[in-house]
Amino acid sequence: MIRRMADKLGHLGHASLPKVDESDTLSSLGSPTSPNPASYLSQSSYDHRGSISTQATSMSEWSTDKRGFDVHSDMEVVEEERPHPRPKLVSRPRGVYRLSDFIIQRTLGTGSFGRVHLVRSKHNLRFYAIKVLNKDRVVKMKQVEHTNNEQRMLECVQHPFIINLWGYFQDTANLYMVMDFVPGGELFTLLRRSNRFPDPVAKFYAAEVALALNHLHGLGIIYRDLKPENVLLNSDGHIKVADFGFAKAVDTTTWTLCGTPDYLAPEVIGQQRYNKSVDWYALGILIYEMLFGLPPYHQVEQNHLILYDKIQAGPSKVAFPPAAFSDQAKDLIMKLMEGDPSKRFGNMRHGAADVFAHPWFREVDWTRLEAREITAPYLPRIAGEGDASAFDKYPEDDVSSTYGRPTPDLNGSLFPDFEYTAIS
């Protein structure tokens, strides 16, 4: 399908991709119904946004001292429903790893459940990221289902724009997940430095995200936490969607309240059953934020109830300053942010084909893009393999020395897919 569409859509070539200058200042985009981003981006409260659903074991919860939103919602939070029969996912072959296979270099992120470390394999000398989750804390925060979901989803997914899970294991105290080390950091960071992206740059990242979502949906997986914080930049400038703590395989619909407040679809807020169309809705929010610098329903005061009222009222009163939005960009965003899921792009008769064929994406050669044959608009400044300068520094606290030590283990059976291979 994508190959056929590529023949019709032309090419997103190098000439249409101006390089992102991190020193750019934001154009004046103030409007009566939307805040001026320049006046707000200087405020630290818009550093990072946490996800809601009690708390997340996903990367969106790491470094909670930087998160602008409380992870607790003003709405009633419900736990994941008991699983119904799900689409059968085919697991990829994976390696068998032990903690002793790696040399821990430094911490990349911290959170309520543990840490993410940059590590180097003693065998192939490649760099990886290992997420370490304390089992007792995961159980206490009732995140067992989300943790197992993340492992099971990533085990079945292989796509150029989605992070790879290479292996996973446990010891008596912790769970370990070995994943790609993506050295370019978050798209969120690049967006904050650039203030907003030119149209072709936003289009490049949106197109790669759309390909990743389409792949997940083809496997019956809803992602449920799209935002710039969860889109990482590889060394070649192409994206890797990360953070699968809220991903779920469903055959039809689900109803759990989870995600990031600015990106929640109205049916999620209304606690109605929903399907994969919530991801296409979030893509519309992402495109808006990349082009404007702020999400469409943004407000300086962090009041979730007011935010949810705006989302449920719909996008008809959202401002689209012409300096940031072309007519085609506005049209696509409005169709993705459609409040009625049955009329939302990505969820109608032609599915994702409606998104790929939209005039805003006319230049995109989807086949070449998915093959990473198109040069990215921004190449991260990386000194070499293992350069983690795009990530904040954290106190190490010698925590890694405790990994692998025998401790009482009351919860290992709750994570049946994590083998006990951590101790050499």
Alpha-carbon distance of 146 to 258, in angstroms, equals 11
Alpha-carbon distance of 316 to 338, in angstroms, equals 10
Beta bridge partners of 102: 121
Among 101, 180, 225, 262, the one annotated catalytic: 225
Q: Which two tokens stand for residue 304?
A: 């979730």
Burial class (CB in 10 A: 0-12, 13-18, 19+), 178: buried
For residue 65, indicate whether it is catalytic: no
Residue 240 annotated as binding site: no
Q: Tell me if 55 sits within 8 A of 141, measured CB to CB.
A: yes
Binding residues for ATP: 140
**Residues at the annotated binding site?**
140
Residues with active-site annotation: 225
